[in-house]
Structures are given as structure tokens and as C-alpha cells.
Amino acid sequence: CGRDKDGFNMRDAPRGPIILGFSQVGAEGGWRKANTASIKKAAERNRIDLNFKDAGGDPERQIADVHSFIDAKVSVIAFAPVVETGWGEVLRRARDAKIPVVLTDRLIDEPDTSLWASSIGAEFAAEGNLAALYLENDYTAAQQTVNVVQILGVAGATPTKQRAEGFAATAAKGGRLKIIDEETGDWTKDGGKDAMTKLLRRNKRIDAVFAQNDDMGLGAVIALEAVGKEPGKEPKIVTVDGTKAALEGLIAGKLNYVVECSPEIGEPLMAVVVDLFHGGRVQKQIRSEKAVFDPQNAADEIADRTY
């Protein structure tokens, strides 16, 4: 440790290579696969050695994977949590081992926010707000309450909670939309199809569907068509993510609105990893941009969509 030209102490230069231990939720759908591709591509571009593990949607396996990164003495740990709970012990171990931690995509439920250096991802509550707002605007002339069913992601995950909260808050303000029922679709197309089938059995009049991701919304389309309904007309469908498959659904008139949640967080993550490795300061919270697509602007966007 020496002094720089201004006389300040310099920390020992860290020795490369930078090793990033990254634990991914799984490969549950189009968004997640695009997210993994973005992280792998950015790691390669930034010459960061990536120790990548896929938790397969299993919270316990994911915590074990993060322990294994500490054992392997990686430079930085990042993970997209399957669920919000259960993180205290392993993150305290990472802190004791002086390994900085970055949360990607989702958040965790830990009161000690010093356990992670930064979090990078979307504003899920705002996505729920927008989903309700766009739907609400379609019904300004409606004489009766608009019956909405919600297809939820995995219980205990940040987007499941916050998208539901955001949608409910905006619906309550507007007063037109009423969430009459909900069912989990586990973020997958098959899950969305099964959830929609159950919701159709339980509810006589469904005016609109809020599917918390594209895959579940596209699964709901299959279930609705199987019983002779016309998704996009009755019921209307709003989803979140903005995958190419969903934009195609919009153009085909089977979905009505798609709120974007960008999976492309590889580059901002690598920038934070490099800064942490060199002992620099990083922003505690980095938020991604979003848009809302309808059948018109989906047609403009689709050529550039890579996922």
C-alpha cells in the first residue's frame, strides 16, 4: 500500500482476474433466458470470469450455490433471488469473507441493507400501476365494474408481490377494475394455461386478465381459445416483460398491452462488478427503463427485439 501523487494512501492493487459468482433463478421462460444470455455476453465482453449456477427455481439450492461461491473465494457474488426470504446467514458469511454482493432483477427481505452493495433491476410496482392504468383507460365508458382475474408468479418473489400491489393500488384509485380472483401460474406458459383454465371454471364473467408475465399470458391465450373465447377482445389481456413472443401476440390481437421489464442487465451488472473489485463506490439502486406496448407500437418495435 503506497501513496498517490496527492499523498493519499492507495489500497493494494487487486489482482485479476475478476471472478463473478452468479446464481440465476432458473430458466422458467423467455425473459429469464434473455436475462441469462445478457449476463453471459456482458461477462465475456468485459473479460470477467463467470461462475454461473442455475438454481432451477429451488430456493434452498440457490442458497447452497451462494455458499459455494464463498468457498471458491470469488471476487464478487451476484444473484437473482428465487424468493425474498432466507438470505441473512449466507450474506453475513459473504460479508465476513469480504466478498461484495449485488442483487439483480429482484430484491430480498433483509432488514440489514448493508449486506448488499447494489441492486439492479426494474420497478415492479410501477409495472403493476401501468398494467392497471392502461386497462382502466379502455373502460372509461363502462357502465359496470370490470371483472379482472390475476395470474400470479411464484409466491414470495419480489415481482409477484410488487406487481400485484401496484396493480391493486391503481385499480383502487380508478374504481373501475375489480380483481375478482387470482391463481398462480409459476411464471411459465403451461402454468398460465392451467391457471386460466381454473379461473374460467370458477368465474362466470371475466372481462380482463392481468398476467404477471408474458409466458403466463400466452398460456392463458391457449386456455381461452380452447373454450372458444377470443382473447384480446373478451377478455382483454395485459402482461409484463416485452418478449418477442408477446409483441407477436399484440400484433395478432390476442394481447392488449405489454408492460416492458428489461432483462438486459448484463452490462450495468458488469460495470458494478468492476467498480466493486477495484474498491470503488457504487450506486445502491440501479433501475432499468420501461415502456408500454400496444398493437401499434409493437409492430415498430418487433424487428429490433432480440429475445
Where does this chain bind ligand AHR (CB under 6 A)? 28-29, 31-32, 105-106, 159, 187, 213, 240-241, 261
User: Which of 75/158 has CB closer to ligand AHR?
Assistant: 158
> CA-to-CA distance for 10 and 284, rounded, in angstroms?
24
Location of C-alpha cell 393500488: 169
Strands (E) located in the chain: 19-24, 49-54, 76-79, 101-104, 118-121, 146-152, 177-184, 208-211, 236-241, 257-260, 285-287, 292-293
In the bound complex, what is the minimum distance in angstroms from residue 200's beta carbon to ligand AHR? 23
User: Which of 189/236 has CB closer to ligand AHR?
Assistant: 189
In the bound complex, what is the minimum distance in angstroms from residue 184's beta carbon to ligand AHR? 12
User: Which of 75/184 has CB closer to ligand AHR?
Assistant: 184
User: Which of 237/240 has CB closer to ligand AHR?
Assistant: 240
> CA-to-CA distance for 66 and 77, rounded, in angstroms?
8
In the bound complex, what is the minimum distance in angstroms from residue 240's beta carbon to ligand AHR? 6
In the bound complex, what is the minimum distance in angstroms from residue 256's beta carbon to ligand AHR? 18
In the bound complex, what is the minimum distance in angstroms from residue 205's beta carbon to ligand AHR? 28
Of 122, 109, 197, 195, whose CA–CA distance to 163 is shortest?
A: 122
In the bound complex, what is the minimum distance in angstroms from residue 110's beta carbon to ligand AHR? 18
User: Which of 75/243 has CB closer to ligand AHR?
Assistant: 243
In angstroms, what CA-CA distances link 280 with 11, 17, 154? Answer: 11, 17, 35
DSSP-derived 3-state class of residue 149: strand
DSSP state of 231: T
Rounded to 5°, the CA angle 252-256-257 comes to 120
At position 90, the amino acid (one-letter code) is: V
